[in-house]
A and B are shown apart, each in its own frame.
Chain A
């Protein structure tokens, strides 16, 4: 029979020694050179700009890249300083980030999730990028956000409008400055009620992927709440080029509003086709037929040409905004590139500055420190007016623009006119809203690598 000398004190002692042993490597690593992924050790820090440089959104990606380059210039104290002059946080001094010169590498998302992940991975692993910013598709944003979470770097999303990015797919390392489908619908609905009335029958054509479903669900819920009837919702393949066979049934459906939940080339073609069929001249149910495009971009407006006259939509930002931040950004961008900035350019510029500012305020590049600095951060002076980075879901809350295709544009950039600036309070929702993953949606924990 064996005898064991097991005592309560002995167990506690052994546990304490074992615990310290397990914790030791972590303590060492925390103070060693590899405290977190891609910790900058030299005199510079590298940011990764992942934008569509090829594929159908290449022009949008190019605009994002111009804005990101401008942001880097301003961070390094070059140029006119841009929004560093108007930003309410005064942590940025124009001497890089935390005294380190800002450098950047670029990747091509091709607007394909796998290609975008591969280019982000390469920038993180080979180039040592400490933050990834950019993109113009929700599918891509969600994929890259997931990758950044695993890799332990911060993802500052570019143009992504699906509710899921900061909804069911939200991540602790991911942050979105751009607005979302719910906000578009919440801002548009009152204007649509005022301009088109509460008694309307809407027919939806919806791009058959995550953003399209999200957009359709949001706008249908908001318009039905004010009394509109949704006659039909037809899902159109993303690869569709000619929408005539989808447009024709609208004419016989009794609908008096067509909602095009399309983006990019899909939107340009479906709107062009709808105009070809004379929809804007039709009178149905004794009302003028109307078309609504919930999400607008300047490049889409340019592609659609004269067809967008009188068509309602929403935007995250428009260069015609007259606040100090916007005026400064338009001046810096316009003087350097000879054109006003787009929606997507502004969000990437703001995100790059916000990231740098958070590093300065946190005093570290450690993603968990940066995330903490961004959470609940309130600011102004970057072009959108007062903005809050909500801690619960990492979504920015700010005013939303309701716009309309200009009736008499005076120049090629004047294609959209701002109908209303909807206050942030009107588009704010609970973090556990059912459209955003409900109670189950969680950021998870921050990953520093």
Chain B
């Protein structure tokens, strides 16, 4: 029983990342009609916002130790972070410790800016081009962004730990009389993802801006004829989608140490999620994200891999084939999206 619950939790956790990335992809596709293969790179840049802030807060000055030696036998240069010297050791180390949650504040404006530059600077020139051209240019952009990050941060993964207070293991089963230990940060990640998803839906559902965007997604021409500058709103939606992917990346940094190709690892799966959920359907993307996350977790169990060897590697694609055969528009796809 607890093994099943553990895999459900793992699935929800994986699904959270898939859902957040797929949500952003769908927002961009639904508003601008662009298939954005650079979306995984936005997730990666988000994670590197956390790395950057952690490094920035850890900036140190050197003092020469009288007693300790370095690896060459020379006097050791001891590094003391500026924040520790300014605010005292305790407060300073706490600030560094909480660098990942603090990165959210940094990531939102940076990601929106990156999104705006990306859309205005490159992608808008491809609106009237074929989907194949859009895929090629965004895929190329993803590789460029990846290489830039690798140039500055190297190819090695970089540990970006969660705050000590959120690093342990929580016994979720204690309330129900059985043992179910699960990492606290993974619970935080799931709750955070749920909050962001709820926030995006609320924004689209309950604000005038959101209402106009939804109307534009349904019938862009008519909204334009009403004198509303729908293009500007769609550009802002691109920036919001970039911020959603970035936030998913920031909070993912303590789960697996960020490296430059982490975006690519998620990109293909997120596209499958979008297709299974239904192109252009926001609830479909979220639903499919969590569903495929849970299925992938169960397919990785010993029972599943011994019953059907290799099932862990193909399950998502298998489900995608079945869904597309039975429901060609995906689980919640609308008629007319990507159809002539």
Contacts and interface: CB of A to CB of B under 8 A. Distances in A.
Interface of A: 54-59, 232, 234-235, 237, 239, 241-242, 244-246, 248-249, 251-253, 265, 268-269, 272-273, 276-278, 281, 299, 302-307, 319, 330-331, 334-335, 340, 410-411, 413-414
Q: How large is the interface on B (under 10, 10 to 19, 20 to 34, 35 or more residues)?
A: 35 or more
A244 B261 contact: no
B154 A59 contact: yes
B301 A249 contact: yes
Contact of A269 (B76, B154, B257, B302): B257
Contacts of A319: 71
A69 B3 CA distance: 52
Contacts of B157: 265, 268-269, 303
Contact of A232 (B76, B182, B183, B302): B302
29 contacts: A54-B150, A55-B155, A58-B155, A232-B302, A241-B266, A244-B186, A245-B7, A245-B297, A248-B6, A248-B7, A249-B3, A252-B3, A268-B157, A268-B257, A269-B157, A273-B255, A276-B185, A276-B186, A276-B255, A277-B169, A277-B181, A278-B169, A299-B156, A303-B158, A304-B159, A319-B71, A330-B72, A334-B71, A410-B76
A293 to B, nearest CB: 15
B256 A245 contact: no
A241 B305 contact: no
B333 interface: no
A265 B167 CA distance: 21
Contacts of B14: 242, 244-245
A237 B6 contact: no
A327 to B, nearest CB: 10
B19 to A, nearest CB: 15
Closest 7 CB pairs of A and B: A305-B159, A278-B169, A58-B155, A245-B300, A276-B183, A245-B297, A248-B6
Given A234-B305, A241-B256, A273-B256, 9 more contacts: A59-B154, A239-B265, A241-B266, A246-B300, A248-B301, A276-B185, A330-B72, A410-B76, A414-B71
Nearest to B268: A239
Nearest to B180: A251
A278 B76 contact: no
Q: Is the interface of A mostly helix, strand, loop or mixed?
A: helix
B71 A330 contact: yes
Contacts of B158: 303
Contact of B183 (A239, A277, A299, A331): A277
A232 B156 CA distance: 30
A117 to B, nearest CB: 21
A58 B147 CA distance: 12
A135 B33 CA distance: 44
Contact of B76 (A265, A330, A411): A411
Nearest to A232: B302
Contacts, number: 115
A340 B73 CA distance: 12
Nearest to B158: A303
A68 B241 CA distance: 46
A58 B154 contact: yes
B218 to A, nearest CB: 36
Best-surrounded residue of A265, A273, A410 (most CB of chain B within 10 A): A265
Nearest to A247: B10
B221 interface: no
Interface in B183-229: 183, 185-186
B284 interface: no
B190 to A, nearest CB: 12
A436 B255 CA distance: 38
Nearest to A250: B302
B161 interface: yes
A278 B183 contact: yes
B90 interface: no
Contacts of B257: 268-269, 272, 303-305
A277 B300 CA distance: 17
A245 B76 CA distance: 43
Contact of A237 (B11, B297, B312): B312
B84 interface: no
A330 B186 CA distance: 41
Contacts of B312: 237, 245
B313 interface: yes
Best-surrounded residue of A55, A242, A272 (most CB of chain B within 10 A): A242
Contacts of A340: 71
B168 interface: yes
Contacts of B156: 59, 299, 302-303
Interface in B267-307: 296-298, 300-302, 305
A278 B300 contact: no
B70 interface: yes
Contacts of B186: 244, 276
B13 interface: yes
Given A245-B300, A276-B255, A251 B6 contact: yes
B259 interface: yes
A335 to B, nearest CB: 7
B133 interface: no
Interface in B2-22: 2-3, 6-7, 10-11, 13-14
Given A58-B154, A330-B72, A241 B262 contact: yes
A265 B259 contact: yes
Best-surrounded residue of B156, B255, B261, B313 (most CB of chain A within 10 A): B156
Nearest to A239: B265
